Structure 1
Amino acid sequence: EKDLSELQSLIEAHFIQRKKDEEELIALVNRIEKRRGERAEQQRIRAEKEKERQARLAEEKERREQEEQRKKHDEDAKKKKALTNMTHQYGGIQQKGDS
């Protein structure tokens, strides 16, 4: 009878430990799933920020290129105007000399 009660207490202790282990395992699995979800969210946010950064860089590059093109156009216009003025002045001097 002593053996039987000892055996029953061992069986009971075993099942108590097993239940405790199972609860810990479930908690661990839940933590893993939660962490996996958090990581996925972090990666999504990081990818979104990188996409925004790339778009901003492309926009800045486009703006700089347009600015450079505008400056080049302005410089070309100034050169043409200066050349036209010089031609008119030279032509005016030549006409005075012909008189």
Structure 2
Amino acid sequence: FMPNLVPPKIPDGERLDFDDIHRKRMEKDLNELQALIEAHFESRKKEEEELLSLKDRIVRVQPSPLWLLPPCPCGHSATAPSPRAEEEARKKKAFSNMLHFGGYMQKSEKKGGKKQTEREKKKKILSERRKPLNIDHLSEDKLRDKAKELWQNIHDLEAEKFDLQEKFKRQKYEINVLRNRISDHQKV
């Protein structure tokens, strides 16, 4: 059962200025796009500065080879690890772990690949269903026809949605009945 829907009425007396609406929408989209571009470039600039500072720190922190170190006057051997060398080794290890984190992320993405493909399928289906709305060049009568066509399309989709929901409810009920039968059968 589908409720009787009525298509929206377009007033006869008023003339809508679709060019003005389209122009305003385009200006809004352009402003949003410019803001996004500016934000992207600012974040990119900050990231590059951080990367350069990290590279400088790495170059400064890297220990020099042991044969270049002057002999220690206190009698300690140069090969014994100092607390500073241990800290540097720990930092290097942490940095290398950060570099290998990308491989870990790829493995975790492969595990969740099924969800990703389901999303991609849904996007593909929706992009096929959605058609571009080219109404800029249409006259008033053709716009009315287009509105009726879109309304009919919505009506069909709502009817299909309702049918699928009812089918789902029926299948869920049947599954519950069958489960009850199985559990009753296993008790005997």
TM-score range (shorter-chain normalised) is 0.5 to 0.7
Alignment of 1:80-95 (within 5 A): 80-81=70-71
Alignment of 1:12-23 (within 5 A): 16=13, 19-20=15-16, 23=17
Q: Give the structure 2 partner of residue 57 of structure 1.
A: 51
Larger radius of gyration: 1
SS at match of 2:64: helix
Q: Which amino acid aligns with 2:32?
A: E
Among residues 23, 30, 37, which one is paired with 1:29 in the alignment?
Answer: 23
Q: What is the rounded CA distance, in whole Å, between the counterparts of 1:29 and 1:59 in structure 2?
A: 45
Among residues 64, 67, 72, which one is paired with 2:64 in the alignment?
Answer: 72
Q: Which amino acid aligns with 2:44?
A: E
The 4+ residue runs of structure 1 with deviation greater than 3 A are none
Q: What is the rounded CA distance, in whole Å, between the counterparts of 1:63 and 1:28 in structure 2?
A: 52
Q: Give the structure 1 partner of residue 4 of structure 2.
A: none
C-alpha displacement of 1:67: 0.5
Q: What is the rounded CA distance, in whole Å, between the counterparts of 2:18 and 2:53 in structure 1?
A: 52
Q: Give the structure 2 partner of residue 89 of structure 1.
A: none
Structure with more relative contact order (C-alpha pairs < 8 Å, separation 6 or more): 2
C-alpha displacement of 1:24: 1.4
Alignment length (residue pairs): 62
Q: Which runs of 5+ in 1 are unaligned?
A: 1-12, 86-99
Q: Which amino acid aligns with 1:61?
A: K
Using the size of structure 2 for normalisation, the TM-score is 0.30
Aligned-residue identity in percent: 15
C-alpha displacement of 1:52: 0.7
Q: Which amino acid aligns with 2:71?
A: K
RMSD: 2.5
SS at match of 1:63: helix
Q: Which runs of 5+ in 2 are unaligned?
A: 1-11, 76-188
C-alpha displacement of 1:37: 0.2
C-alpha displacement of 1:66: 0.5
